[in-house]
Amino acid sequence: MSIVAEASGLDITVRESAGSEENAIRMDRGELDVGMLDANGADEALGEDHDLTTLFPLSVVVWQMVVGEDTDIQTLEDLDGAAFNPGPVGGASAMVTVEVFEEGLGLDVDWFEATAPDAQSAYQGRQIEGFALRGAGVQADGAVLEVDSARPVRLLSFTEEQMDAAVEVNPDLSPATIPASTYDTEEDILAIGYWGVVVGASVDFDEDQAYQMTKSFWEELDTIGEQLPQVEGMTPEDAVNEALMPLHPGAVRYYEEMGIDVPDEIKVQG
Protein backbone atom coordinates (compact mmCIF):
# COMPACT_ATOMS: atom_id res chain seq x y z
CA MET A 1 0.00 0.00 0.00
CA SER A 2 2.92 2.37 0.59
CA ILE A 3 3.71 2.37 -3.14
CA VAL A 4 0.08 3.14 -4.02
CA ALA A 5 -0.05 5.86 -1.34
CA GLU A 6 3.09 7.56 -2.64
CA ALA A 7 2.04 7.35 -6.28
CA SER A 8 -1.52 8.55 -5.65
CA GLY A 9 -0.66 11.27 -3.15
CA LEU A 10 -3.30 9.89 -0.77
CA ASP A 11 -2.79 9.73 2.99
CA ILE A 12 -3.36 6.02 3.65
CA THR A 13 -3.25 4.73 7.23
CA VAL A 14 -2.53 0.99 7.49
CA ARG A 15 -4.15 -1.01 10.31
CA GLU A 16 -3.52 -4.63 11.24
CA SER A 17 -6.39 -7.11 11.29
CA ALA A 18 -7.04 -10.82 11.69
CA GLY A 19 -7.61 -11.21 7.96
CA SER A 20 -10.13 -11.02 5.15
CA GLU A 21 -13.31 -11.77 7.08
CA GLU A 22 -12.53 -9.22 9.78
CA ASN A 23 -11.73 -6.66 7.08
CA ALA A 24 -15.08 -7.35 5.41
CA ILE A 25 -16.98 -6.91 8.68
CA ARG A 26 -15.15 -3.71 9.59
CA MET A 27 -15.64 -2.27 6.11
CA ASP A 28 -19.32 -3.14 6.26
CA ARG A 29 -19.56 -1.27 9.58
CA GLY A 30 -17.81 1.78 8.12
CA GLU A 31 -14.70 1.31 10.28
CA LEU A 32 -12.43 0.84 7.25
CA ASP A 33 -12.60 2.43 3.80
CA VAL A 34 -10.33 -0.03 2.00
CA GLY A 35 -8.98 -3.48 2.81
CA MET A 36 -7.66 -6.74 1.42
CA LEU A 37 -10.46 -9.23 0.87
CA ASP A 38 -11.05 -12.78 -0.24
CA ALA A 39 -14.24 -12.57 -2.28
CA ASN A 40 -15.59 -15.84 -0.92
CA GLY A 41 -14.53 -14.87 2.60
CA ALA A 42 -16.51 -11.64 2.32
CA ASP A 43 -19.57 -13.64 1.31
CA GLU A 44 -19.05 -15.99 4.25
CA ALA A 45 -18.73 -13.09 6.71
CA LEU A 46 -21.57 -10.93 5.42
CA GLY A 47 -23.71 -13.09 3.15
CA GLU A 48 -23.80 -12.63 -0.59
CA ASP A 49 -26.02 -9.52 -0.38
CA HIS A 50 -23.40 -7.04 0.84
CA ASP A 51 -22.24 -3.65 -0.43
CA LEU A 52 -18.49 -4.15 -0.66
CA THR A 53 -16.77 -3.50 -3.96
CA THR A 54 -13.47 -4.20 -5.74
CA LEU A 55 -10.77 -1.75 -6.78
CA PHE A 56 -8.21 -4.20 -8.20
CA PRO A 57 -7.11 -7.83 -7.77
CA LEU A 58 -4.01 -8.82 -5.81
CA SER A 59 -3.74 -12.51 -6.49
CA VAL A 60 -5.31 -15.55 -8.00
CA VAL A 61 -6.33 -18.09 -5.35
CA VAL A 62 -5.17 -21.61 -6.30
CA TRP A 63 -6.03 -25.12 -5.10
CA GLN A 64 -3.01 -27.42 -4.88
CA MET A 65 -3.91 -31.13 -4.95
CA VAL A 66 -1.20 -32.92 -2.98
CA VAL A 67 -0.67 -36.68 -2.67
CA GLY A 68 2.18 -38.83 -1.43
CA GLU A 69 4.90 -39.76 -3.86
CA ASP A 70 4.77 -43.19 -2.22
CA THR A 71 1.21 -43.80 -3.47
CA ASP A 72 0.07 -45.14 -6.83
CA ILE A 73 -2.00 -41.99 -7.39
CA GLN A 74 -0.85 -40.30 -10.60
CA THR A 75 -4.03 -38.54 -11.75
CA LEU A 76 -7.15 -37.05 -10.23
CA GLU A 77 -9.13 -40.12 -11.33
CA ASP A 78 -6.88 -42.21 -9.09
CA LEU A 79 -8.33 -40.41 -6.06
CA ASP A 80 -11.56 -42.38 -6.51
CA GLY A 81 -11.91 -44.28 -3.23
CA ALA A 82 -8.80 -42.72 -1.70
CA ALA A 83 -8.65 -41.09 1.75
CA PHE A 84 -8.20 -37.39 1.00
CA ASN A 85 -8.71 -34.12 2.88
CA PRO A 86 -10.62 -31.57 0.74
CA GLY A 87 -9.51 -28.57 2.81
CA PRO A 88 -10.14 -27.23 6.32
CA VAL A 89 -13.35 -28.68 7.75
CA GLY A 90 -16.31 -26.36 7.23
CA GLY A 91 -14.38 -23.97 5.02
CA ALA A 92 -15.31 -22.68 1.59
CA SER A 93 -12.25 -24.26 -0.03
CA ALA A 94 -13.28 -27.73 1.17
CA MET A 95 -16.80 -27.24 -0.15
CA VAL A 96 -15.46 -26.25 -3.58
CA THR A 97 -13.12 -29.27 -3.67
CA VAL A 98 -15.99 -31.66 -2.86
CA GLU A 99 -18.26 -29.96 -5.38
CA VAL A 100 -15.69 -30.19 -8.18
CA PHE A 101 -14.66 -33.78 -7.45
CA GLU A 102 -18.15 -35.20 -6.93
CA GLU A 103 -20.32 -33.15 -9.30
CA GLY A 104 -17.73 -32.23 -11.91
CA LEU A 105 -15.44 -35.27 -12.05
CA GLY A 106 -17.80 -37.93 -10.69
CA LEU A 107 -15.30 -39.20 -8.11
CA ASP A 108 -16.26 -41.08 -4.95
CA VAL A 109 -13.55 -39.96 -2.55
CA ASP A 110 -13.19 -41.05 1.07
CA TRP A 111 -13.24 -37.56 2.54
CA PHE A 112 -11.10 -37.01 5.62
CA GLU A 113 -12.58 -34.01 7.46
CA ALA A 114 -10.07 -32.14 9.59
CA THR A 115 -8.42 -28.79 10.18
CA ALA A 116 -5.44 -28.01 7.97
CA PRO A 117 -2.82 -28.85 10.64
CA ASP A 118 -4.58 -32.12 11.51
CA ALA A 119 -4.85 -33.06 7.83
CA GLN A 120 -1.17 -32.39 7.29
CA SER A 121 -0.31 -34.48 10.35
CA ALA A 122 -2.52 -37.29 9.06
CA TYR A 123 -0.74 -37.08 5.71
CA GLN A 124 2.68 -37.32 7.31
CA GLY A 125 1.43 -40.24 9.43
CA ARG A 126 0.16 -41.98 6.26
CA GLN A 127 -3.45 -42.01 7.48
CA ILE A 128 -4.52 -40.32 4.26
CA GLU A 129 -3.21 -40.27 0.70
CA GLY A 130 -3.25 -36.52 0.34
CA PHE A 131 -4.97 -33.18 0.83
CA ALA A 132 -6.17 -30.09 -1.01
CA LEU A 133 -4.62 -26.77 -0.08
CA ARG A 134 -5.98 -23.39 -1.18
CA GLY A 135 -3.58 -20.47 -1.14
CA ALA A 136 -2.87 -17.12 -2.77
CA GLY A 137 -0.66 -17.14 -5.84
CA VAL A 138 1.22 -19.93 -7.59
CA GLN A 139 4.31 -19.78 -5.40
CA ALA A 140 5.48 -22.78 -3.39
CA ASP A 141 3.40 -23.13 -0.22
CA GLY A 142 5.19 -23.46 3.10
CA ALA A 143 2.84 -26.21 4.30
CA VAL A 144 3.55 -28.31 1.20
CA LEU A 145 7.29 -27.85 1.61
CA GLU A 146 7.05 -28.79 5.27
CA VAL A 147 5.18 -32.06 4.73
CA ASP A 148 7.39 -32.84 1.74
CA SER A 149 10.39 -33.02 4.05
CA ALA A 150 8.70 -35.83 6.02
CA ARG A 151 6.83 -37.52 3.19
CA PRO A 152 7.66 -36.45 -0.37
CA VAL A 153 4.71 -35.04 -2.30
CA ARG A 154 3.32 -35.31 -5.80
CA LEU A 155 1.06 -32.56 -7.20
CA LEU A 156 -1.86 -33.63 -9.35
CA SER A 157 -2.82 -31.71 -12.47
CA PHE A 158 -6.24 -31.22 -14.05
CA THR A 159 -6.68 -32.13 -17.69
CA GLU A 160 -8.33 -29.61 -20.00
CA GLU A 161 -11.52 -31.70 -19.96
CA GLN A 162 -11.52 -31.86 -16.16
CA MET A 163 -11.00 -28.12 -15.98
CA ASP A 164 -13.99 -27.55 -18.25
CA ALA A 165 -16.08 -29.81 -15.98
CA ALA A 166 -14.92 -27.94 -12.86
CA VAL A 167 -15.79 -24.54 -14.33
CA GLU A 168 -19.16 -25.85 -15.47
CA VAL A 169 -20.18 -26.79 -11.92
CA ASN A 170 -18.63 -23.63 -10.41
CA PRO A 171 -18.41 -20.74 -12.90
CA ASP A 172 -16.42 -18.62 -10.42
CA LEU A 173 -13.44 -20.91 -11.02
CA SER A 174 -10.87 -20.41 -13.75
CA PRO A 175 -7.67 -22.23 -14.82
CA ALA A 176 -4.43 -21.40 -13.03
CA THR A 177 -0.98 -22.68 -13.92
CA ILE A 178 1.58 -23.62 -11.27
CA PRO A 179 4.91 -23.44 -13.13
CA ALA A 180 7.06 -26.57 -13.14
CA SER A 181 9.82 -24.59 -11.43
CA THR A 182 7.64 -24.03 -8.36
CA TYR A 183 8.11 -27.55 -7.03
CA ASP A 184 10.60 -28.84 -9.61
CA THR A 185 7.95 -30.92 -11.34
CA GLU A 186 8.42 -32.32 -14.81
CA GLU A 187 5.59 -30.22 -16.26
CA ASP A 188 3.42 -27.27 -15.31
CA ILE A 189 0.48 -28.11 -13.05
CA LEU A 190 -3.00 -27.09 -14.23
CA ALA A 191 -5.04 -26.14 -11.16
CA ILE A 192 -8.41 -24.64 -10.34
CA GLY A 193 -8.38 -21.09 -9.04
CA TYR A 194 -10.17 -17.78 -9.03
CA TRP A 195 -9.24 -14.12 -8.81
CA GLY A 196 -10.32 -14.00 -5.18
CA VAL A 197 -7.79 -11.87 -3.28
CA VAL A 198 -8.59 -8.25 -4.03
CA VAL A 199 -8.27 -4.78 -2.61
CA GLY A 200 -11.86 -3.90 -1.86
CA ALA A 201 -13.63 -0.77 -0.73
CA SER A 202 -16.84 0.25 0.91
CA VAL A 203 -19.36 1.39 -1.67
CA ASP A 204 -19.36 4.75 0.17
CA PHE A 205 -15.62 5.25 -0.32
CA ASP A 206 -14.90 8.51 -2.16
CA GLU A 207 -15.03 7.96 -5.92
CA ASP A 208 -12.07 10.21 -6.76
CA GLN A 209 -9.88 8.51 -4.17
CA ALA A 210 -10.92 5.07 -5.43
CA TYR A 211 -10.02 6.19 -8.96
CA GLN A 212 -6.59 7.47 -7.87
CA MET A 213 -5.79 4.27 -5.94
CA THR A 214 -6.80 2.06 -8.87
CA LYS A 215 -4.87 4.15 -11.39
CA SER A 216 -1.75 4.23 -9.19
CA PHE A 217 -1.84 0.47 -8.63
CA TRP A 218 -1.77 -0.35 -12.33
CA GLU A 219 0.77 2.34 -13.18
CA GLU A 220 3.12 1.07 -10.45
CA LEU A 221 2.49 -2.64 -11.08
CA ASP A 222 6.11 -3.44 -11.97
CA THR A 223 7.37 -1.89 -8.75
CA ILE A 224 4.67 -3.59 -6.70
CA GLY A 225 5.58 -6.90 -8.34
CA GLU A 226 9.07 -6.67 -6.85
CA GLN A 227 7.46 -7.01 -3.41
CA LEU A 228 4.41 -9.10 -4.37
CA PRO A 229 5.39 -11.59 -7.12
CA GLN A 230 1.79 -12.83 -7.36
CA VAL A 231 0.74 -9.65 -9.21
CA GLU A 232 3.17 -10.23 -12.07
CA GLY A 233 1.38 -10.72 -15.36
CA MET A 234 -1.94 -9.32 -14.17
CA THR A 235 -3.77 -6.90 -16.43
CA PRO A 236 -6.64 -4.43 -15.97
CA GLU A 237 -8.67 -6.75 -18.19
CA ASP A 238 -8.28 -9.46 -15.51
CA ALA A 239 -9.83 -7.11 -12.95
CA VAL A 240 -12.92 -6.77 -15.12
CA ASN A 241 -13.20 -10.21 -16.69
CA GLU A 242 -12.64 -12.14 -13.45
CA ALA A 243 -14.51 -9.85 -11.02
CA LEU A 244 -16.41 -11.76 -8.31
CA MET A 245 -17.73 -8.59 -6.65
CA PRO A 246 -19.01 -5.34 -8.17
CA LEU A 247 -16.36 -2.80 -9.12
CA HIS A 248 -16.32 0.49 -7.22
CA PRO A 249 -17.50 3.44 -9.38
CA GLY A 250 -14.05 5.02 -9.12
CA ALA A 251 -12.46 1.82 -10.39
CA VAL A 252 -15.01 1.57 -13.19
CA ARG A 253 -14.07 5.09 -14.29
CA TYR A 254 -10.40 4.08 -14.58
CA TYR A 255 -11.07 0.82 -16.44
CA GLU A 256 -13.39 2.54 -18.91
CA GLU A 257 -10.76 5.25 -19.47
CA MET A 258 -8.42 2.39 -20.40
CA GLY A 259 -10.88 1.38 -23.10
CA ILE A 260 -12.20 -1.69 -21.27
CA ASP A 261 -15.90 -2.49 -21.58
CA VAL A 262 -17.23 -2.93 -18.04
CA PRO A 263 -20.47 -4.98 -18.03
CA ASP A 264 -23.41 -3.47 -16.17
CA GLU A 265 -23.72 -6.55 -13.97
CA ILE A 266 -20.42 -5.77 -12.20
CA LYS A 267 -21.19 -2.08 -11.72
CA VAL A 268 -22.74 -0.83 -8.49
CA GLN A 269 -26.47 -0.57 -9.06
CA GLY A 270 -28.72 2.20 -7.80
Q: Which of 150, 173, 194 is the last residue of a domain?
A: 194
pLDDT score for 270: 61
Question: Can you give the CATH number for the domain in which 204 is found?
Answer: 3.40.190.10
Q: What are phi and psi of 10, to 5 degrees?
A: -85, 150
Considering the domain architecture, whether residues 151 and 206 belong to the same structural domain is answered as no
In this structure, the answer to whether residues 143 and 206 fall within a common structural domain is no
The pLDDT assigned to 37 comes to 84
Same-domain pairing of 88 and 11: no
Choose the final residue of a domain: 163, 194, 225: 194
Q: How far apart are CA 52 and CA 12, in angstroms?
A: 19
Are residues 97 and 49 both part of a single domain?
no
Q: How many CB atoms lie within 10 A of CB 73?
A: 20
pLDDT tens-digit readout, 80-102: 999 999 999 887 789 899 999 99
- In this prediction, residues 204-217 reach a mean pLDDT of 94
Residues 97 and 207 in one domain: no
Burial of 146 (0-12, 13-18, 19+ CB in 10 A): exposed
225 pLDDT more than 90? no
Q: How far apart are CA 208 and CA 148, in angstroms?
A: 48
DSSP state at residue 91: S
User: For residue 35, which of 49, 48, 16 has the smallest C-alpha distance?
Assistant: 16
Highest mean pLDDT among 56-60, 69-73, 224-228: 69-73
Q: What is the pLDDT of residue 1?
A: 60
Examine the domain organization and report whether 106 and 180 are in the same domain. Answer: yes
User: Residues 154-192: pLDDT tens digits?
Assistant: 999 999 999 999 999 998 888 888 999 999 999 999 999
Q: Which of 38-47, 137-146, 173-182, 186-195 has the lowest mean pLDDT?
A: 38-47
Task: Look at the alpha carbons of 151, 155, 179, 116 in this order and tell me if their dihedral is positive or negative.
Answer: negative
- Round the average pLDDT of the chain to a whole number and report it: 89
Binned at pLDDT 50, 70 and 90, residue 237 comes out as very high
Range of the domain at 180: 61-194
3-state secondary structure of 210: helix
Neighbours of 48 (CB within 10 A): 9
Phi, psi of 89 (to 5 degrees): -55, 130
Residues 6+ apart with CB under 8 A from 143: 116, 120, 133
> With 90 as the cut, is the pLDDT of residue 129 above it?
yes
On whether both 67 and 182 belong to a single domain, the answer is yes
Whether residue 187 sits in one domain with residue 77:
yes
- Answer whether 34's CB lies under 8 Å from 201's CB: yes
Torsion sign (Cα): 268, 225, 136, 7: negative
Distance CA 147, CA 118 (A): 12
**What is the structure's pLDDT at 86?**
96
Q: How many domains does the chain have?
A: 2
In this structure, are 122 and 141 located in the same domain? Answer: yes
Same domain, 153 and 248: no
Residue ending a domain, among 166, 194, 222, is: 194
Are 25 and 100 found together in one domain? no
Q: Which amino acid is at 19?
A: G
Q: 20 pLDDT exceeds 90? A: no
3-state secondary structure (DSSP) of residue 152: coil
Give residue 5's pLDDT: 60
Residue 240 has pLDDT above 90, yes or no: yes
Same domain, 110 and 167: yes
Of the given ranges (12-16, 33-37, 46-50, 241-245), which has the lowest mean pLDDT? 12-16
